[in-house]
Structures are given as structure tokens and as C-alpha cells.
Chains A and B, each alone.
Chain A
């Protein structure tokens, strides 16, 4: 992608005007990689600021400067400021005799329920007993979808391999009920039955749908889960920014608390469907400053990865 800077080679000091055409090409390149428009813009200005006023004699030195600046910015955006260690925190909670609770939220169809099931598989592999709370009481088949996963997961990890204990259970109250209430009952049930972890599935909702956003913040406010995970798909374009901003905003606005629970981390799904158009990873982390905790890379239980920031950045610069 660096050929766009070829024309800047020379002995004169680089001005904004010199840089503008190349930076515009770079912006288009980032947008083609599915970085949201305004974030691509900002990344380019930061590269521009590094180059302005410099004399960069050779193409090699320009390339290096652009590359390292962009790399640095992207890695900085992607690298977690805070580590989320679910296994350790769940163990802590277990020792305190209470279940560790995780809520999954996001817009419609992004992969909340499926990736919840993948994470459940990973937790069971690590010997935790999990209760899945079916708090999507709206979408047709949502409860049966989770029940199917529970059946499959228990078949993979039968009780006789775990001292006779059923590793995964479903807590459901069918459709049409208040999801915050079901989550609370599920957490109490998990505590009583000494289950280690509660994974709370919620209905998909559009970020502008006020009643539904209100219901989500109620669920989170009332139950104070240990972790609130936002599920977003790698396919999403400029909407990534709006989704995350408004989910956080709604959680803050409807909580009536000085320190409301906001999104703690992101699950980036459908990473296997985008080739090198990895921009959503940048858009989402840039917008929230929160880490991508998992990357979904397919439709089976083992298709769950950690984010490889280096690989994302090199796909972006390719």
C-alpha cells in the first residue's frame, strides 16, 4: 500500500499540501479494509502529523515512517489496556462461594448465543460447571437453540467423566417473561446448586430501540454481572461505532447510578467471513477502549481465539 507515498520522495520539507493526496489514498485503503470512515480519517491525521515538517530523502525512509507510525497507532488501539482473565476471576468467585456471572449483549444476529455456547465449552474444558440463563425471551427458537447446545455440550462432557456431575444446565422460563427477573432467578439457582459460572444470553436489539435498551440496562443494573461482554460481528461497517457508543450510553443513562456498569469487553465474531477486511477490530476497540476478549472464527465450539493484534495490523497494512 505504500506506493502512494512515492511522490513525496525528495529533499524538501514535507508540508500538509504535499501529504494530502497520499493521506487520502491511505484513508481509502483503510476504509476498503472496513475501518469506519471517521476512524480512518483520524489514523491518517496521526500519520500526517508525524510526517509534516520532515525531510525524508528516500522512498525507503518515507515507507518506514508511515508504516511504523500506522503500525504503532493500530497496535496501541488493539492492545488491551486491561487484561480480562475469566478463568482466574471465575476461580476467585468460586472460592468465595458465589457464581461468576457474564452477560452477552449486542444487536440482532451477530452471534451472541453461539459464542456463548463456545465459551461455555471452553469453561467446561477447564472444569467449571456452567448454568446458561435463557434471557432472550423474545426471538422464536431462542430457548430451544440454547437447549440444543446444552444437550450437545453435555454429550461432549458426560457426567461420568466429571465425578457424576452434570457440567452444563439451562435455566429457562420460556418466552414473554421479564429477562432481568429470569437472570436473577438463574443466579440464585446457580448459587444454591453450587454452579461455578452463569452465562446470560440476551435478545438482540437495535441500539436505537429505547424500550429494549432500557430493559437491557435494567438486567445489568439489577444483577450486576461480573462481566458485560458486547458481541459484534467483524462484518459490520460504520455502524460498529454507533452500536458501541449507544450501548454504553444506554447502560449509563438508564442506570441512575454514579458508577454504572458499562461494556467490559468485546467478542468479535464471524472473523472467518471477512478475508483481510479486518477494520471492524480497529473501529470497535477505538470506540470503547475496551479489549477484544475473544474472536469467533467459525460455527463450531472450538472456533474461538484470542485476538492476534499483529496479524490484524499486518492484514490492515497489506
Chain B
């Protein structure tokens, strides 16, 4: 996975700490500089990068600290904690309940991959034996219903939508009512792409939300996004109750750091990642194992609990 690129750079920077004979402020600064550079190049929000640097520095007091090994451990564990903070919002991911209607609404910026990912998620649950369906509540984008219909048909997933109705609130409501009454377990609602600068689009999202009262809202973020992510993600969260994040397009070269910044802005965990255009290019994402793997240093993991 490409996020691992970032991990490799960070591990290398941390290793330099191990190689240094004396650990002083200069060595620490040099290492932090390397780590911050890697994070910035991966598009992590610069404010988060700065606070990471400050937080690590503030824990380390060279005058008070004892010798070699202890310093090393303290620095490494401080860095580790800060990185975990970046990726792990500290809340448990929402889980659907078997045997009940679970309504999931997708939201996000234009072109981030919502429609594609809707089918991926539906297919994922369908294969695990859940009764799954899709609703197209995007009446704006040209060809949106055809797109969802073709994807759903190929994956043999029941779907609902309209070529003539122009009110997304109505379609969402009708679709959810229909599938609820047919006892579908996973009901996924796709919505149009939108951005915070256009109030009417955000208002529409709120209305769809109010009409269907989703059990979970998934914010879909493209791995290539840069510094604009944070304010967009925050605005979505302020308007509706985003509960999870999915990062798409991680099959490319992008490290996904910008999208990771959405985790902090929405206080929501990343639950899946998209790794291609095909329906099964999709992987569950678990924070804790990911961070350990990211940093490739199981030995440090024990340090944070002490």
C-alpha cells in the first residue's frame, strides 16, 4: 500500500536517532525535520505537521533527561504517539447491525469517488451475506444514474433511482422507504458531489440527511487532495454527522496524507481504502495494525502503554 511509503521515510528518520552516538537538540531537530518533510510531501495538513513538531519538542527536555537509551525511547515514543493521533481519532468505527436496516449515506467533494465506492461497499457486504442495495440520489451530475445502474447491475445489486425526478430528497426518501419495507440490511445512498463554498449544495445534503436519517454518513476523500482538505472536511462534519472516512485512489502514487487530515477534521476513523477502479479494489482499514505496520516497529508499540 502506498501509505507505506510515508512509513518508510519516517522509520528511516527514526533510525537515524538510533545511529547517533550522542542525542542532543541538534539530532532531534534534524530527525523532526526529516519526518515533517515526509509528512508535508505526503500532503498532511501543515498545521497538523507543525503541531506534531511542537508536541514532540515540548515533551523532550534535554536538561532534565537522563542518558542515551532513555532519551531515544522517549523521543521515539513521543513521535509514535503523535503519529497515532494523526491517524486514529480515538473513536470506534460504526458497525452495521445484522438483521436490521442500516442506512448509509455517502457524501464528499466532486469526483472524489463516491459513486464507485458505493458499489464497492455494497459488494463487500453482499459477499459477506448481507442483503444489500443502492440508491442514486444524485440528480445533478450528467449520467449519474446510469453510472450507478451499470455498476450495480454488473455486481448484481438491487438499485433505485430515476431519470425524470429532479429532487434528490424525494428519491432518497422513496428509495429508503422501499428498501426498508423489503428488509434490506445495507441500504446505501449515493449523493451528488458538493463543496462548502456553495451553500445550496450543503443545504441539499442536510435535507437528504433529514429525510432519511442515516445510521452512518461516510465522507469519501481522494488520496491526491492537498491542503484544501481540512477545511472542506470540517465543513462537511459541521453540516452533517459524518461518522467514517473512506480514502480512494490509493492505487496511484499519492500518499494520502491530505485525506488523512480529514480524520482529525471529522474525528472519524478511516474504515476502507479504494485501490483501483474495479469493484473489488477495496480493502478494510484498521487503524492500530496500520500504524504499527506503517512504522514497522513493533518494539516501540509497547512503549506507549507504559
Interface residues of A (CB under 8 A from B): 28, 31-34, 37-38, 107-111, 113-114, 117, 138-149, 152, 206-209, 233-240, 242-243, 246, 270, 272-275, 277, 279-280, 299
Contacts and interface: CB of A to CB of B under 8 A. Distances in A.
A142 B151 CA distance: 12
Contact of B143 (A33, A145, A207, A280): A145
A207 B40 contact: no
Contact of B144 (A37, A141, A209, A242): A141
A86 B216 CA distance: 47
B140 A37 contact: no
A144 B145 CA distance: 9
Interface string B216-255: 0000001011111101100000000000000001011110
Given A235-B228, A237-B226, A237-B227, A273 B197 contact: yes
Interface stretch (B20-28, B41-49, B57-65, B283-291): B41-49
B113 interface: yes
Contacts of B277: 108, 138-139
Nearest to B196: A273
A119 to B, nearest CB: 15
Given A141-B144, A145-B142, A270-B110, A207 B227 contact: no
B112 interface: yes
A139 B113 CA distance: 12
A108 B142 contact: no
B227 A277 contact: yes
Given A34-B226, A238-B42, A270-B110, A142 B251 contact: no
B226 A206 contact: no
22 contacts: A28-B46, A31-B227, A32-B46, A34-B226, A37-B37, A111-B111, A139-B277, A140-B146, A140-B154, A144-B147, A145-B142, A148-B142, A207-B253, A235-B225, A236-B224, A236-B225, A237-B226, A238-B226, A243-B224, A270-B110, A273-B109, A273-B228
Top 3 A-B pairs ranked by shortest CB distance?
A237-B226, A141-B147, A145-B143
A140 B227 contact: no
Interface in B123-157: 140-151, 154
A274 B40 CA distance: 18
Nearest to B143: A145
Contacts of A280: 226
A137 B196 CA distance: 32
Contact of B231 (A37, A117, A141, A275): A275
A237 B41 CA distance: 9
A299 B40 CA distance: 30
Contacts of A145: 141-143, 146-147
Given A145-B143, A237-B43, A277-B227, 10 more contacts: A31-B46, A117-B142, A140-B148, A140-B151, A206-B253, A239-B252, A272-B195, A272-B198, A273-B197, A280-B226
Contacts of B222: 109, 235
A258 B146 CA distance: 42
B50 interface: yes
A279 B227 contact: yes
B226 A111 contact: no
Contacts of A146: 142-143
Contacts of B7: none
